[in-house]
Structures are given as structure tokens and as C-alpha cells.
Amino acid sequence: MRTRHFGQPLSGILTALALVVSFASPSLGAEKAIVIPAPKLDLPAASGTQTAVIAGGCFWGVQGVFQHTAGVLNAVSGYAGGDKSTAMYEIVGTGTTGHAESVEIKYDPSKISYGKILQIFFSVAHDPTQLNRQGPDVGTQYRSAIFTANDEQKKIADAYIAQLNAAKVFSKPIVTTVGSLKGFYPAESYHQDYLTLHPRQPYIVYNDLPKIENLKKIFADNYIEKPTLVSTAKATN
């Protein structure tokens, strides 16, 4: 199921109408942020750029959250979980490819840890108790998943999920899957930096901008006002 729109922001009338419909349907709204404990286990300090790949529904909002997170060098929207040959938006949207809309996060481990990235992911970026959906978006391509690059990442992710479930910080069990990263494929250029480029788009206004506000509120020490955009990262590399 697809509920998003592309291109420039809709007219004022359509924008207002879309927001009225969204607010009248709470089940279609933004996921609520939850204050959660930090992971008891984390990766040791390391040098050089590190990578984390996560999936939590529409990649626009997840990318936006981590573009406003200090220590993140680049956050790219894309696809993970399927083959390279099917890593295209229109095909992934069928829900038959094995792909999930994902975000590849390149980060500086001296400024942010893998565990902190997972804490933000579970707390404000999405609702990890929703199975094969997030908010208005339904299908396996919107599932909650962590794609691990090595055994150490898998150990941290598994332990953190177990910790959060044991503490019952969510009203329902976490359904996030943890599996090895077979490949990450960047999404089409029009998906990159989408939240920043289309701040008045109804989907962004209702579903994703609240995530940025929650990041600013709950993780004030990790929040940066100016987003680290893909376009900027490419220009500086």
C-alpha cells in the first residue's frame, strides 16, 4: 500500500484536506516516541568511519532523523534484504522483492556509538512493535529490521532487543528482525534528502517532522539543527 506523493508540495487546499483526513484517522498518524534506556552492551570505541543499516518504514523519515543526528557523516535512503536486480522503488513497492526501505548510516564512532544509533532508532525513528508496517504504510517493504555488517553488531542488536523486551518499555513485543547485510542499494535520487526538500508535503508534515521534534526533545545532546544531507556529503567527498 502506498500513501505518499511525489514532486512539489500540494496546493494549500489539498494540503489542508490531506491533513484533516490524517488527523481524523489516528491509526494513520505518526508513531509516538518513547523514552527508552540506553543499551547495556555497545561496540567498543573504534577509529575510522563505521556503517549501520536499519529499516523502519518509509525511508524519508528515518533518513531525516539521522541527518539531524550529531556524528552521522551521511545517511542514504535505499533498499536492503533483496537482490540488486529488484532494488527499484516501483518493484520494491509490490512487497515481493524481500527488500525493505532502509537507510545506510555512515558515522564517526568517536562522536556517536552503534548503540546510541539503535537507541534513537527504537525511540524516535519508528515504532518497532508494528509488524510489516509503519503508520499509514503497509507491506513487508516497511518492516522494522536491522541489517548487521558483522557478528559484533548482531550481538549488540540482539542484546538490546532482549533488554527492551525484558524491561517492557513498549506495550507490545518488539518485532524488529536482525539479519546479516547482504547488500545495500541506494534509492533513486528523488528520494534522497526528501524531508528537507519537501517540508510542507502532507506526508512529511504529519508523519516525519514530529520525529525530528522528538529527536530534538529526547536526544538534545545528539541533535543538530542543520541536517547532514546526501548532496552535501557527495560534494565534500
CB 71 within 8 A of CB 223: no
Exposure of 169 by Cβ count < 10 A (0-12 exposed, 13-18 middle, 19+ buried)?
middle
Exposure letters 119-157 (e unless 16+ CB within 10 A, then b): bbbbbbbbbbbbeebbbbbbbbbbbbbbbbeeeebbebb
Note if 63 is an active site residue.
no
Cα dihedral sign, 25-30-36-40: positive
Q: Which of 137, 147, 113, 149 is nearest to 222 (CA)?
A: 113
- Residue 16's SS3 state is helix
Separation between Cα atoms, residue 55 and residue 97, nearest integer Å: 15
How many whole angstroms separate alpha carbon 133 and alpha carbon 3?
12
- The Cα 210–Cα 198 span in angstroms is 14
- Catalytic residue, from 58, 87, 187, 230: name it: 58
Task: Give the residue among 144, 120, 143 at the shortest CA–CA distance from 35.
Answer: 120
Residue 200 C-alpha cell reads as 510542507
Active site residues: 58
